[in-house]
Structure 1
Amino acid sequence: MKVEQIYTGCLAHAAYYIESKGVAAVFDPLREVQPYIDRANKDKAKIKYVFETHFHADFVSGHLDLQKKAGAEIVFGPSAKPAYEATTAKDNQIFEVGDYKVKVIHTPGHTMESTTYLLIDEKGNEHGIITGDTLFIGDVGRPDLAQHVVADLTEEKLAGYLFDSLRNRIMPLSDDLIVYPNHGSGSACGKMMSKETTDTLGHQKKVNYALRPDMTKEEFIKELLTGLTAPPGYFPKNVLMNIKGYESLDKIMDRATTPYSPEAFEAVANETGALVLDTRNAEDFAKGFIPNSINIGLKGSFAQWVGEMIPDIKQEILLVTYEDKEKEAITRLSRVGYDNTVGFLKGGFDAWEKSGKDFEVTNRIDGSELETLYKNKKPIIIDVRKKSEFDSEHAIGAINVPLNEINQHLAQFPKDKPFVLHCAGGYRSMIAASILKQRGWQDFTDVRGGFEDISKTSIPKSEYVCPSTLL
């Protein structure tokens, strides 16, 4: 049986495509559906079903556009209550895709409607399981997301359901089955996902901490809930979009691909209060950017950081991109529900600069320059990496303010003395720098190579710091 995994690294997301005798099915599609349609056309196949493992939190699914464009039937697992036409399957129900069969296995825990799909080949042999966020490679889905939508679904209650689903519905299955999860390493939907994106169930039973056969339910719940960080703020908003429906990506693209001259761009920004989002790389942004713009580089974890740093999913956005990157930026914004892009700067930042309009810059230095500065002046160093990264190793005396918490800890950034900003490699620190510039900070410097550069210098490092010294 051929199962095609369609993996999108920037979201650590896996969709799946199967086809038999001119009939195809797609599992957990992303917002832009044309690639799936093109794939089916290549096989001269019709997409009959779009299967959803659950109401996703970290992206907006493309199921509604696939229903509209391909005539696909949307299928959710038991207990799902979407606000649009869809099939809510029964536990153990079987769907036919040509000579293949797809069996519904209800596995609540990550969410109540979470469902695993058992794939059966043309000979009747069980091939694999598409597990959504129920079972990852090396991990299982976090059980604390649904409570942000339904308050009664506490994380402890969901963790208990997940324990039962894994023990009673997944682990009794054959060791030879291939596990096809919805996410890989880098996703916020789990704690310790592997970089591998498939494995056998038998191997997972041996190495996945959550599948230990001697683990009690109480131990499972405690271990699963330990170390969970707060989910990104956009997660519950994406869930609601997946439940209630959304606007077609085609309409969003038509509206968003409006080109503006520098003069018109400035006027629209002033009139609408739109956020100016600059998606160029950090080095180019540092050399010149539109005042009050925010930098989140397209070549990085763009969608996740947009979701973390722009609280209002309905915020109107004006884009500054490299030439011919506008549609990519719009698509990647819409993947996480930011559908209100109102246009882009025609000609990019070069056009703005040539028009004679004011722009700002921000200082950047490399590790060796910081080393000299450190020896002479002992500057304040603010590290915007995650706490786990900081605790692993950091410059002695550095202050840790994780990027996703920057708005809650602005008081830790001094305005009366200079400071140095860094992350791991320069991507996140430029996001922080652009936010600080927008809020009025001026006297700071960013380390372009981040801690990767700092680690190569003689600046003293520590592998642990008492949390009380971070304040």
Structure 2
Amino acid sequence: MFIKQLYTGCLSEAAYYIESNGEAAIIDPLRDIDAYLELATERKASIKYIFETHFHADFVSGHLDLQKATGAPIVYGPATETNFPIHLAKDGELFRLGALTIEVLHTPGHTVESTCYLLRDEHDMPHALFTGDTLFVGDVGRPDLSSGNLTKEELASMLYDSLQQKVATLPDSVIVYPAHGAGSSCGKNLGPETYSTIGEQKQTNYALQPQTREDFIKAVTDGLGLPPQYFPINARINKEGYDSLEGILNKGLTPLSIAAFKEWMQQEEVIVLDTRKAAEFTQGFVPGSISIGLEGRFAEWAGSLLPFDKPIVLVTEAGQEQESVVRLARVGFSQMEGYLEGGLEAWKAAGEAIDLIIDVEADELAMDLPFDKNLVVVDVRRETEFADGHVAGAVNIPLNEMTDPGSMANIQENQNLYVHCAGGYRSVIAASLLKRQGIHNLRNVVGGWGVIKDQKGIDVVKENSVLN
């Protein structure tokens, strides 16, 4: 028996490779499938099955491309409807994999088709449970994403039954392998570990504690924020199908001369996306660019902030062109039209205009606050982060809301904006969005709240505020 978790940090996503006697199965593959094919080749195994736990909302699965590459069937659990051929498994159905057996456990609740896969060892003993978004370490999948006309309370009730009747009844020694770790928006508060055991989760996971159905429904549904806006798009793509990644790469990796790049920029709906590090972006960028650096939760913020139906041209660090295109494709983008050949250095060398964002330290903010009557601190963290502590008088415009023109409605031309987030990544994205909308009188506070909260001379409060 061989099991490998393939974890992708920027999406907090775990795919799995399982192998026995030269036969392999992949669970919840990402769109870029090379890692699975290379692992199978390296281990002289053939991929026999592609198992999907549900229609993923936070990324586009690699099930279709992997099926084309291997001929392996795509297996979904009961209640699944797709626009492409699948093996529609029955609850309790068994799949042989070498000396192992994989048992289908239909566990609706996160979505109606959500299914866990129980791996039984050579002696038919339960060994590991691949839980998808049904059970995480310390949490469960949110029941409010996409399942037809069912309410989140109805789905939560289904999840209660799934956990009590299918999951909690397994031996404590069974390893829990979820589809996500900390940082994922598919749950409320996932733990930092990427695997656990049934026994550990019975002790520590609030959702597996003895409780009534009513108490469980309240616990699971309370405090759910709005999911990222791209979740329904990705779920639909996973259900209906998509273009091959190879075609997207062929187009997206087209090197664009400065003249060709400028031609794209002249088209009104084109997005210029700069994937360099935030600290490099502030020092100079192509005017009108949006910064989303690869060093952060790139794909998630791209999916949350960028339109899916508009062409995208890229500015990247040298050698990061393919990484940028692949990570965009992972969350459903397909209209990448190429990248600026030679990057920003070539742009500057040709004498083209650049823009920049002024960086300031927290001590400069402390010095300016008492004397600048037009100074406005713009905090782009989530509302819960803001409520837990912020600069007195600051206004909260969460980054995920900044694509709504109304979020900027009360900003005045004479205001001097000091923008910050928790550490500096989101604030640079926010500053680039503000500049794209013609708001240039701004500064980025380096280090964000992490340094502001300890800066002498800055009053910190715990109360909500609005922009007047």
State TM-score, norm by structure 1.
0.96
Where does the alignment leave 5 or more consecutive residues of structure 2 unmatched?
Answer: none
Q: More deviation in 82-91 or 269-278?
A: 269-278
Q: CA deviation at 1:33?
A: 0.2
Residues 136/205 of structure 1: CA separation in 2 closer, same or farther (3 Å cut): same
What residue in structure 2 maps to residue 238 of structure 1? 234
Structure-1 residue corresponding to 2:189: 192
Written as runs of structure 1 = structure 2, the 5 A alignment for 1:433-452 is 433-452=431-450
Q: How big is the shift at 1:2?
A: 3.1
User: Partners of 2:2 and 2:467 in 1: how far apart?
Assistant: 52
* Paired position in structure 1 for 2:337: 342
Listed as ranges, the matches of 1:355-394 within 5 Å are: 355-377=350-372, 379-394=375-390
Matched, 1:22 2:22: yes
Unaligned 5+ runs, structure 1 = none
Asked whether the equivalents of residues 394 and 462 of structure 1 are also in contact (C-alpha less than 8 Å), the reply is yes
Partner of 1:56 in structure 2?
A: 56
Deviation at 1:469, TM superposition (A): 5.1
Backbone CA RMSD of aligned residues: 1.3
Deviation at 1:271, TM superposition (A): 3.8
Is 1:276 the equivalent of 2:252? Answer: no
Distance 1:104 1:240 in 2: 23
Whole-Å separation in 2 of the counterparts to 1:131 and 1:463: 41
Deviation string for 1:407-441 (max 9, x for gaps)? 33112433222121111111101111111111111
* C-alpha distance in 2 between matches for 1:267 and 1:468: 43
Question: How far, CA to CA, are the matches of 2:317 and 2:465 in structure 1?
Answer: 43
| 1:193 Cα deviation from its structure 2 partner | 0.4
User: Deviation of residue 376 (structure 1)?
Assistant: 3.3
Task: Supply the distance in 2 between the matched residues of 1:463 and 1:126 (Cα, whole angstroms).
Answer: 52
Task: State the Cα distance separating 1:377 from its structure 2 match.
Answer: 2.7
Q: Is the 8 A contact 1:395 1:459 kept in 2?
A: no
State the partner residue of 1:173.
170
Q: Contact 1:367–1:456 at 8 Å: present in 2 too?
A: no
Q: For 1:196 and 1:459, locate their aligned partners in 2 and report how far apart those are by CA, in whole Å.
A: 38
More helix by share: 1
How far apart, in 1, do the equivalents of 2:82 and 2:466 lie?
48
Distance 1:43 1:322 in 2: 34
Q: Note the alpha carbon deviations across 1:333-360, whole angstroms, 9 max, x for none.
A: 0000011101000000111111111221
Q: Match of 1:252, SS?
A: helix
CA displacement at 1:272 relative to structure 2: 6.9
Per the TM alignment, residue 463 of structure 1 is displaced from its structure 2 partner at its CA by: 4.7
Q: State the Cα deviation string for residues 80-139 of structure 1 (Å, max 9, x = none).
A: 111111101000000011111100000001011100000011122210100000000000
Give % identity: 47
Q: SS at the partner of 2:5? A: strand
Indicate how the Cα distance of structure 1 residues 459 and 470 shifts in structure 2: closer, same or farther if over 3 A, else same.
farther
Query: What are the equivalent positions in structure 2 for 1:105-116 lying under 5 Å apart?
Result: 105-116=105-116
Kindly tell me: are residues 271 and 375 of structure 1, through their superposed partners in 2, closer, same or farther at Cα, counting changes over 3 Å? closer
What TM-score comes out, normalization by structure 2 length?
0.97
Q: How many residues are aligned here?
A: 465
Superposition map of 1:17-166 within 5 A: 17-147=17-147, 150=148, 152-166=149-163
Match of 2:289 in 1: 293
Bigger shift: 183-192 or 349-358?
349-358
Deviation at 1:461, TM superposition (A): 4.0
Alignment of 1:210 with 2:207, yes or no, is: yes
Q: Distance in 1 between matches of 2:310 and 2:142?
A: 28
Report if aligned partners of 2:395, 2:465 keep a CA contact under 8 Å in 1.
Answer: no
Contact 1:320–1:348 (Cα < 8 Å) also in 2: yes
C-alpha contact (below 8 Å) 1:32/1:62 kept by paired residues: yes
Displaced runs of 4 or more, over 6 A: none
